[in-house]
Structure 1
């Protein structure tokens, strides 16, 4: 007799309630050992592999690639070959079917935190017999694929009678419902008919007249979208821009860059910019702050956790260098490389994406010159760093070549006046134009 163990999606910490299966690492019939990875799951910030807690044979995969699973959902069934800790899915099937309901909610996303949903989908092997009208709160029982298809085709899924197990609304039900003309359509004269076909596997909609492709947003893209919207519509942004002559800093870095390479240290301009920024933040603490609107208080932070906005294949991420004021230029160079590479290689931990007090975004690394960076809410400011270029400038009534660094400083105009933004950049100029002064004051 097979001893079945129902492996539930585990709580992996950091407030994560759900994830999306991006890739199964096993198939039904595979033999696995305890600790072997069974699936790759994407959360809002990281993609991680889920290890099996049991040794045995995979007898059922409860979800497909692209499905959303919640903490506590059974997504793998394992024959443990006589394990005393069996959990029988057959004994629990009817109970689960009765208890499953769909509750949709939206939580504000923040960088480093999870956009969660409590939507629960009953197992696909439920008993048949219930109709769609028997679902809790009048909401249809359906998979995310069917819900997305209904949205794309403009079908009210809660009015569709499902033909699947336990009244589940299937993709075929959605397609059938979309072809039934509404009362309004009976009264209209259509000039032409747009034939729509659905590629369920790729979740694409192809319109004959104009081919389009619909790509579901990844969890990290949803987080970025909500975060940027929250920042832009909550904080009244203003931006100050300036150009700084960093010729001396350019020569200073050039002098030591090659020798440090032998120690595998990549000496970029970023460590110097971080040092200068922290020095200015200590003199102008309102830029290292958060506005508490509920209590009408300005929270000045006495720590300097610098977020480094990083472009990755999965989207914008902001790893944090904690207590950056305690690090030397060389230590900062190492740390910048470390957190940036971890983010780009999807090896960053959630705790390293939280708690920044001020953020620096370096669009100059990909060729950008000026920009208007959006504040990393709930911080009060963000510094944008452009590409350093050689330009002609006037010095002592003569035109000479100089290396110029463009900076853009966006800040919360509710708590910081325009003059303060100009003072911030003036202090940055004083330090970056004279690297010896920077090292003396750092």
Structure 2
């Protein structure tokens, strides 16, 4: 007792006495059971021996949960981390974008399920992440609890100053990852934007309107109208050469490789999907059929419609006409819009015409599809194509755009070539490949020579359920629609 009295006397001049029965440290989970503990004010003893004093800063007792990569469907078990939108120490709210991952079928944006602070990133860029394994560690408020399927790990202590600096707002803003990315790219706080969607969800139009008010710019009413990808080279009517000299293709310059060592890389992303798809396609007996199409009248019609399409913010190419003619042909020959089960015992006739369009991108060959072509106009198809091309160029095509196709067209003519042998994409049963458009001499009904816009088409069909006569009749019908575009009006619904 005498020792305690002496200790009190020495503390009165220097600081204040704090009497506690138990002091708990959240970081070490230890208990100090001394009867009296003397704690000095830190500011009063900056010059003293600090190793002898207790810190008075409060501690935060949060829980760290391991946010695992959920199943993203389509049988995907692993993905490649392409981009992190957060770093360690950042605060996140529910539905905030965490990262972008790429599977062998699509790019997917992963969003947070919690309000909290990022404590650890489990993967670096271009590393393989597996479904069901931890993606990031998020510190959340312990009082809110954790979902039962998440794993709780040891919680480190954090000073009061750090916790105050990284405090998370309780207000939750509803917005899709794409909208959040748009806001982030333009330095817009979602809390300042008034949402016009359901439950005050912030839409892309809300971000654009908010940005217009800040900058004074006038934006078009539809966001798709401003997405105008460059027109493929083959879709421009080639002009007659002024001289007879043939153009020599310029070789693509490549950096000189000084090292003589071989290089081995893993097959990932869309290339991995190509390996799987083409391996399955080898099991299909392909039947090939080729023909040439005179597009002279279609070229003239497109030139007449281009100004009208541009006034609607749409870039009109030949592909919408090809896609619509395909859909009209599938109405007459539905076996080409079907799928065959693995046991080859049942054929499923698809109600929707989801026409895929093969695209050559930096990520590799991808085939997004235009949904429900059978009920879409040519302008609607053109608008959706513009949208898909813009997403493909930005590497933002998702699973919805890349799955569900029932028939495919490959416009290989944008690169070059006339005839090809397209490979069917299972579970589809047919595919068409379009060559480049050439100005060639042809004879009319009177035997006179004229300049014709000629395009070659190559078809492949699954010969297990499609015979050659069916493929030829479908090709003839498709050809008639394109050589006489006005005839499509008779079958439009």
TM-score tier (shorter): 0.5 to 0.7
- Report how far residue 66 of structure 1 moved: 3.2
> Which residue, out of 106, 118, 121, partners 1:46?
106
Query: What CA deviation, in whole Å up to 9, does each residue of 1:137-173 have, x standing for no partner?
Result: xxxxxxxxxxxxxxxxxxxxxxxxxxxxxxxxxxxxx
The 1:223–1:433 alpha-carbon spacing in structure 2 relative to 1, beyond 3 Å, is same
Contact 1:8 1:71 survives alignment (8 Å): no
Contact 1:5 1:85 survives alignment (8 Å): no
Contact 2:69 2:134 survives alignment (8 Å): no
Per the alignment, residue 372 of structure 2 pairs with 323
Contact 2:442 2:450 survives alignment (8 Å): yes
Does 2:121 align with 1:61?
yes
Does 2:225 align with 1:225?
no
User: How many residue pairs were aligned?
Assistant: 325
Contact 1:34 1:51 survives alignment (8 Å): no
Structure 1: 5+ residue runs without aligned partners?
Answer: 92-206
The 1:82–1:373 alpha-carbon spacing in structure 2 relative to 1, beyond 3 Å, is same
Distance between the aligned counterparts of 1:439 and 1:289, measured in 2? 25
The 1:60–1:83 alpha-carbon spacing in structure 2 relative to 1, beyond 3 Å, is farther
Distance between the aligned counterparts of 1:364 and 1:436, measured in 2? 24
Distance between the aligned counterparts of 2:393 and 2:258, measured in 1? 38
Between Structure 1 and Structure 2, whose CA radius of gyration is higher? Answer: 2
Distance between the aligned counterparts of 1:244 and 1:211, measured in 2? 49
Contact 2:293 2:455 survives alignment (8 Å): yes
The 1:413–1:248 alpha-carbon spacing in structure 2 relative to 1, beyond 3 Å, is same
Pairwise CA RMSD of aligned residues? Answer: 2.7
The 1:57–1:363 alpha-carbon spacing in structure 2 relative to 1, beyond 3 Å, is same
The 1:24–1:339 alpha-carbon spacing in structure 2 relative to 1, beyond 3 Å, is closer
The 1:292–1:217 alpha-carbon spacing in structure 2 relative to 1, beyond 3 Å, is closer
Contact 2:358 2:365 survives alignment (8 Å): yes
Distance between the aligned counterparts of 2:377 and 2:92, measured in 1? 46
Does 2:303 align with 1:254?
yes
Per the alignment, residue 319 of structure 2 pairs with 270
The 1:6–1:422 alpha-carbon spacing in structure 2 relative to 1, beyond 3 Å, is same
Distance between the aligned counterparts of 2:79 and 2:412, measured in 1? 30
Structure 2: 5+ residue runs without aligned partners?
Answer: 1-25, 27-60, 156-256
Distance between the aligned counterparts of 1:37 and 1:308, measured in 2? 29
Q: Which runs of 4+ in 1 moved over 6 A?
A: none
Per the alignment, residue 431 of structure 1 pairs with 481
Contact 2:107 2:399 survives alignment (8 Å): no
- Report how far residue 377 of structure 1 moved: 0.9
Distance between the aligned counterparts of 1:84 and 1:220, measured in 2? 40
Does 2:67 align with 1:8?
yes
Contact 2:106 2:402 survives alignment (8 Å): no
Per the alignment, residue 339 of structure 1 pairs with 388
Greater CA drift, 244-253 or 411-420: 411-420
> Which residue, out of 351, 364, 367, partners 2:400?
351
Per the alignment, residue 377 of structure 1 pairs with 426
The 1:348–1:62 alpha-carbon spacing in structure 2 relative to 1, beyond 3 Å, is closer
Distance between the aligned counterparts of 1:303 and 1:79, measured in 2? 46
SS of the residue corresponding to residue 342 of structure 1 reads helix
Does 2:153 align with 1:89?
yes
Distance between the aligned counterparts of 1:88 and 1:335, measured in 2? 45
Does 2:364 align with 1:300?
no
Greater CA drift, 233-242 or 296-305: 296-305
SS of the residue corresponding to residue 312 of structure 2 reads coil
Distance between the aligned counterparts of 1:383 and 1:236, measured in 2? 16
The 1:77–1:331 alpha-carbon spacing in structure 2 relative to 1, beyond 3 Å, is closer
